[in-house]
Amino acid sequence: MTTRHDRECVMITVADAHAGPDSIYSGDKDEWLIALTQTRDSGLIDKSNWAVAQDRLGELDDWAIQRSGHWAVGWVESLIVLSDSDAHREAISIQDDLDAYPLLDEEHHSGLEWECVADTIQDALRSWDFIDGLDAAHDELMTIAADSGEYGEDYYPDKQDVFFAVVHVMRANNERLQKRNARHEIFKRAQLRFTWGE
């Protein structure tokens, strides 16, 4: 198991991270330590841990987010801390927690998963905007997605699953529409009889 002392040794300085031949750092925090990173291509676990780590550092002094471009991943954000500060000690605690379990906060991560499902459904609804009434079906689609509970590795429901959910909602809406039209037709006939009867 990694000890707290090992953790302090694992964190590298910003200057060391930019020491390669194709990298340069021109800021004033070159001796600060990198506690956590995320990239443009980070998955939900990394995004969740990134947000929770910032919350945990919260009001402490001596931490910052360093942003830089990268040829392979577009951009990199590094959560950096000043050595021997309260923020550094909290960063060590965060890394210890990540050694014990890959998520800093399961509830936060679950919330991100749900947002991804909602975004996928919204995208599907936008791509099928020629179908009337799908905006009204959003809540029903969200319920279907939540009940299925089967998502891909990236926690987005498959497009096929969303399609089947939309078809299910369309059928249910069509049945409601047919019943409403039948009631309306009965009402119209009754109204005609009443009018003709006078």
- Residue 51 in tokens: 């947000």
The verdict on 114 and 84 lying in the same domain is: no
The verdict on 97 and 38 lying in the same domain is: yes
User: Which tops the pLDDT comparison, 74 or 131?
Assistant: 74
Residue 172 has pLDDT above 90, yes or no: no
Per the structure, how many domains does the chain have?
Answer: 2
User: Strand 33-39 to strand 63-70: parallel, antiparallel, or no bridges (unpaired)?
Assistant: unpaired
Residue 47: CB atoms within 10 A of its CB come to 14
Closest CA to 118 of 131, 106, 39, 110: 110
Domain hosting residue 165, numbered range: 108-197
**CA 161, 163, 164, 165 torsion-angle sign:** positive
Going along the chain, which residue ranges are E strands?
A: 33-39, 63-70, 74-81
- The pLDDT assigned to 6 comes to 45
The verdict on 87 and 118 lying in the same domain is: no
- Residue 73 pLDDT level (bands cut at 50, 70, 90): confident
pLDDT (tens digit per residue) in 15-66? 888 887 777 777 888 899 999 999 988 989 999 999 999 999 999 999 999 9
Residue that finishes a domain, picked among 49, 84, 104: 104
